[in-house]
Structure 1
Amino acid sequence: MEQPMENGEVENGNVLFSKDSMENDVPKEDRVIRKAKRLTKLSPRKDDPPVVNGNLPPVSVKNMRKSRMGLGRGLPKKGGAGGKGTWGAPGSELYETSETQDAHDPNYDSEKEEDIVVETVKPPIQENDLVQVVEPILKEYLECGDTEDVLSSLQEMNLGENAHKLPEMAVSLALDRKAHHRELTSILISDLYGNILSQDDVAKGFDQLLAGLTDLSLDAPDAPNVIGQFIARAVADDCLPPKYVASYKGKVDCPHARTALDKADVLLSMKHGIVRLDNVWGMGGGNRPVKYLIKKMVLLLKEYLSSGDIAEATRCLKELEVPHFNHELVYEATVMVIEDSSERAADMMVKLLKSLYETNIISIDQMKMGFKRIFENIADISIDVPSAYNLLDRFGTKLHAAGALPTSTYNEMPNRGRKRFVSEGDGGRIKEDPPLH
């Protein structure tokens, strides 16, 4: 058995000393007195007041504005507007919006970021690439005449310092075209002015045209007069200042440029010249009255029946510049065949319509529209020409055999409204219509 040591007890092989015995063994003067430390989360900083004799500075940690995490500069949060769960700065409710900009706010909508469109500035088009980019747009405009389409296409580009090239290119394309296209070009310059072009751009464009007029005259001998008309029209449309022509007096050595400026000066100097310049290119295309166009087409067909010249009839139809109204020619030609009631007139009209159809001067839609108008009015035509149904059927058959009348339209050919029978003794045979003479 284990014997207990002095001032101690033995338990499970371990010697246990009581607190009293330990204190009695160490003298009081040799005891180490330790004071309890109060741990804080603050770490010492350079600007913190010194700790004297283990005491904290007069300002308590509880009331300090410094972050207890050791972060920040000790300034009030949000400029004094408070933090989470506070009312915010006084008067901040006046500036509240329906959308919050704080990504940590529960009401923040992250999908709004996807709707933000970042505008990028396109590099300006180089002068070498300008013709390749802009010329197809101008050519398409001369076919359709839609200035809004041209404007939207050009606004998507960055023309930079090459904007003055637009009037120069547009007028150059119109030199070898018809008066209708020149009118469209003048309208285009007027519509682009103020949106794409400035007055200086238009003036600089015409300066370039006058400088290169000698070369333009080689391909278009009438270029000086045409350029003069363009200048006068631009002045009338307020795209050029009235002093533009006068600024060149006595400063031009090129005879072609002098001719152009003299032409513009004459047009601007005549009585009521500004008003008359609205029709400087004449009235062409669809601007003409419908009665005038019908009269011209009837005259064209009558001259063709007399001469039989298909080329001349084609030229006259092209000069009218109304491809959307060519169905009227088909209608008038068919009516003329029915009224003439002769094989010669029918054969000649078949040759003309076949030629116009094969050269795509009269489109398939215009051909269909012309015959549908005949189908709708054949009842009225038959009042004056009783055999109109039979004559129309024979003419349509010839035209279909020549390949100028679509099958779908030919199948819609109207039948005679009433069959004429002979006496019962003839067995109910249908009485034939009189032959064409």
Structure 2
Amino acid sequence: MATDCEAWLNANPVEADDLSDSFASGDEDNGKSAISNKNINNEINGNWLSSSSTSIHEARLKAKAKRRLRKNSSRDSGRGDSLSDNGEIIRGTSAAPTSPKSKLLDRKSRLGKGRGLPKKGGAGGKGVWGRSGEVYEPEEVDEKDPNYDEAQENCVYETVVPPLDERVFEKTVTPIVQEYFEHGDTNEVAELLAELNLGPMRSEVPSLAVSLALEAKASHRELTSRLLADLCGSVLSRSDMENSFDKLLRELPDLVLDTPGAPQLVGQFIARAVSDQILSEGYIEGYKGRVDCEYTRAALDRAAVLLKMSMGGLRIDNQWGTGGGQRPVIQLIKEMNLLLKEYILSGDSKEAERCLRDLEVPHFHHEFVYEAIVMVLESKGEKTFKMVLQLLKSLSTSSIITVDQMRRGYERVYMDIAEINIDVPRAYFILEQFVDESFSMGIIDVKLRDLCPCRGRKRFVSEGDGGVVKLESY
């Protein structure tokens, strides 16, 4: 085959211009493209068809044209010319490359490694915080820095809290005192006040606490006296206490409008403060001959009387009493027994209700019901029986004693009736009558009435029955 091609070339020489890589313009270009189009059908799937009309010259021209098209196509990535299925040359378009091997829009690493994560784990670049978990060391001061100031080397920076003014002071301290009335922890109040910059308002703390206690319960006044005793020395000074009580005495005419008994209560606070050594012993003596207000004079007289009584054995440290569960159970039981005895003597149910409410132990009212029923079982006349029924009815109607506390009181008597019967032989019989009357008056319900125990006993019947022993109950 090679020998035949060489012989043919020697017989028909080919000019150099015909073997160039580029086509000529004009007619020559059209002629050569026509030759290419004419003989393109002689190749099918890359195989040359044998024909007498084909020439090696035309084949070489076509091969060069195809090589040129392949070269432009790979260089321009789809922007060059291409060859159609019919062998025609198609000029390239400006379509974007879609080949997966194209690197125009490739975001992968050029080195062929990495997982697409940010550089340096996110610790590189401008305006970043650094790698997570990184600990920064103290930065050394550059003395050559134009902003360097030698005077700032030994500076100590502290948080400055501005002092409280009168308006902010009342809004800040009032919730602290009111929360103290609930938890009763003086250490917590001292810590909260130490965090505040009280400034000139330091002496206003005792007067604010006392003014809030005047409108509260007796137990809250006792807590206030304890608070003043614990704050004196650690947070407040004795001069602050004296200035605060001076302000209270001056404001008594205004305090009386909201609390009519303010002079007597303030006098008790002053006596308690002197007893706790918060105020000096000569504090009351310093006001002699200098008092024009009748309310101030009444408060000082009350304080002086209490101090004189303390010399005779009166305990001023317990003048307010203790409220709620802070008192021992034995003391509460004694006070309830005294309350019942006073009620039996006076018959004033309103006073008994007030005294029971002042005890501030709604969770312990079942003890009051228990003691009242036991008093009825131990009594001999009907007076106590009727008066206790009326008192329990009144307390139940006014909801001072709840249904649950009333039920627990009756159930406790049911449980202890066997022991009570040892001292009171007729206890079962009296209890059954008392429970029936309580049900008829609406104090208890039918379920609680049916739970009332009854004791069976041996009773010898009359001689007409033959002396048979029968078991019966009351």
Shorter-chain TM-score tier: 0.5 to 0.7
Q: Does structure 1 retain, via aligned residues, the 8 Å contact 2:275–2:317?
A: no
Which SS does the other structure have where 1:164 is aligned? helix
Q: Does structure 2 retain, via aligned residues, the 8 Å contact 1:267–1:277?
A: no
Which SS does the other structure have where 2:273 is aligned? helix
C-alpha distance in structure 1 between counterparts of 2:312 and 2:205, whole Å: 24
Alignment equivalent of 1:293, drawn from 335, 340, 344 = 335
How far off its partner does 1:323 sit? 4.9
How far off its partner does 1:175 sit? 3.8
2:187 is aligned with 1:146: no
2:345 is aligned with 1:303: yes
Q: Does structure 1 retain, via aligned residues, the 8 Å contact 2:367–2:409?
A: yes
Higher mean C-alpha deviation, range 341-350 or range 183-192: 341-350
Q: Residues 224-373 of structure 1 correspond to what in structure 2 (within 5 A)?
A: 224-242=263-281, 244-245=283-284, 253-261=292-300, 264=303, 270=308, 273=311, 278-279=316-317, 281=319, 286=327, 289=331, 292-293=334-335, 295-303=337-345, 307=347, 309-318=348-357, 323=362, 326-339=365-378, 348-364=387-403, 366-373=405-412
* CA 1:426–1:122: 2 relative to 1, 3 Å: farther
Q: Does structure 2 retain, via aligned residues, the 8 Å contact 1:422–1:431?
A: no
Partner residue of 1:199? 238
* CA 1:169–1:365: 2 relative to 1, 3 Å: farther
How far off its partner does 1:195 sit? 4.2
Higher mean C-alpha deviation, range 177-186 or range 294-303: 177-186
Higher mean C-alpha deviation, range 122-131 or range 327-336: 122-131
Alignment equivalent of 2:198, drawn from 138, 160, 163 = 160
Q: Residues 108-147 of structure 1 correspond to what in structure 2 (within 5 A)?
A: 127-128=166-167, 130-131=169-170, 134-135=173-174, 138=177, 146-147=184-185
Question: With structure 2 as the length reference, what TM-score do the two structures score?
Answer: 0.50
C-alpha distance in structure 2 between counterparts of 1:194 and 1:406, whole Å: 58
C-alpha distance in structure 2 between counterparts of 1:259 and 1:184, whole Å: 24
Question: Gapped runs of 5+ residues in structure 2?
Answer: 1-132, 138-157
Q: Does structure 2 retain, via aligned residues, the 8 Å contact 1:233–1:277?
A: no
The one-letter amino acid of 2:417's match is I
Q: Does structure 1 retain, via aligned residues, the 8 Å contact 2:177–2:189?
A: no
How far off its partner does 1:360 sit? 3.6
Aligned length: 315
The one-letter amino acid of 1:395's match is F
The one-letter amino acid of 1:205's match is S
C-alpha distance in structure 2 between counterparts of 1:301 and 1:104, whole Å: 78
The one-letter amino acid of 2:319's match is W
C-alpha distance in structure 2 between counterparts of 1:104 and 1:137, whole Å: 41
How far off its partner does 1:318 sit? 4.2
For residues 280-316 of structure 1, the C-alpha deviation after alignment (integer angstroms, 9 at most, x for no partner) is 7376764894674254134135236xx4x43243244
Question: With structure 1 as the length reference, what TM-score do the two structures score?
Answer: 0.54
Give % identity: 41
C-alpha distance in structure 2 between counterparts of 1:245 and 1:340, whole Å: 51
For residues 64-107 of structure 1, the C-alpha deviation after alignment (integer angstroms, 9 at most, x for no partner) is xxxxxxxxxxxxxxxxxxxxxxxxxxxxxxxxxxxxx99499xx
C-alpha distance in structure 2 between counterparts of 1:122 and 1:365, whole Å: 52
Higher mean C-alpha deviation, range 151-160 or range 327-336: 151-160
The one-letter amino acid of 1:236's match is S
Higher mean C-alpha deviation, range 213-222 or range 123-132: 123-132
Partner residue of 1:381? 420
Q: Does structure 2 retain, via aligned residues, the 8 Å contact 1:182–1:281?
A: no
C-alpha distance in structure 2 between counterparts of 1:352 and 1:277, whole Å: 33
* CA 1:407–1:166: 2 relative to 1, 3 Å: farther
The one-letter amino acid of 1:362's match is I
C-alpha distance in structure 1 between counterparts of 2:187 and 2:403, whole Å: 27
Which SS does the other structure have where 1:208 is aligned? helix
Which SS does the other structure have where 1:399 is aligned? helix
How far off its partner does 1:190 sit? 0.9
The RMSD of aligned alpha carbons is 4.9
For residues 175-206 of structure 1, the C-alpha deviation after alignment (integer angstroms, 9 at most, x for no partner) is 46676554433222112323443334322321
C-alpha distance in structure 1 between counterparts of 2:232 and 2:447, whole Å: 49
Partner residue of 1:17? none
The one-letter amino acid of 1:160's match is L
How far off its partner does 1:417 sit? 5.6
Which SS does the other structure have where 1:216 is aligned? helix
* CA 1:189–1:415: 2 relative to 1, 3 Å: same
Which SS does the other structure have where 1:296 is aligned? helix
Q: Does structure 2 retain, via aligned residues, the 8 Å contact 1:228–1:263?
A: yes
Q: Does structure 1 retain, via aligned residues, the 8 Å contact 2:164–2:197?
A: yes
Q: Does structure 1 retain, via aligned residues, the 8 Å contact 2:272–2:316?
A: yes
C-alpha distance in structure 2 between counterparts of 1:390 and 1:239, whole Å: 59
